[in-house]
Amino acid sequence: MIKENSSNSINKAFLYKSCRINGALDTISGRWKALMLIHIDEGNNRFSLLKNVMPGITDQTLGKQLKELEMSGLIIKTIIPEVPVRVDYSLTPKGEALLPILAQLSEWSDM
């Protein structure tokens, strides 16, 4: 968390105002977020399934980044009242719209 009146906070606000790309990059920043979106789209839509396809991620990081993706409107968390309770994640239209952009970024990085 950045202090509201710190130079970091002021610079971040300036950059967001000056160039909206900074906000977009901030939304998908994080070592695992892009991969998580791709895996959720492929049907690995539960915590345990994501953990299986990304064995290097810690439970804490996975949970934190899922929450951040949900807060940014890229995924939806659905609680299914079974025994035991099941939680599924799915992409929102905003999250689905990001997938071709991620594919283009991947192609660009291979240049």
12 and 35 both lie in a single domain: no
Global pTM?
A: 0.84
Q: Is the pLDDT of residue 21 over 90?
A: no
- Same domain for 37 and 24: no
Percentage above 90 pLDDT, the chain: 68
What is the CATH classification number for the domain harbouring 83? 1.10.10.10
Provide mean pLDDT across the span 33-52: 96
Parallel/antiparallel/unpaired status of strands 86-91 and 75-80: antiparallel
pLDDT band at 12 (very low <50, low <70, confident <90, very high): confident
Q: What is the pLDDT of residue 101?
A: 94
Packed helices 20-28 and 33-41: angle between N→C axes, nearest 10 degrees: 70
Q: Are residues 7 and 35 in the same domain?
A: no
* Domain shared by 14 and 47, yes or no: no
Tell me, yes or no, whether 93 and 39 share the same domain. yes
pLDDT band with cut points at 50, 70 and 90 for residue 11: confident
Q: If you average pLDDT over every residue of the chain, what do you get?
A: 91
pLDDT of residue 2: 63
Q: Are residues 105 and 57 in the same domain?
A: yes
User: What residues make up the domain containing 18?
Assistant: 1-29
At 90, which helix (H) or strand (E)? strand 86-91
Q: Are residues 42 and 54 in the same domain?
A: yes
Burial class (CB in 10 A: 0-12, 13-18, 19+), 103: exposed
Q: Which helix (H) or strand (E) holds 61?
A: helix 59-71
- Does residue 5 sit in the same domain as residue 47? no
Q: How many domains does the chain have?
A: 2
Do 89 and 52 belong together in one domain? yes
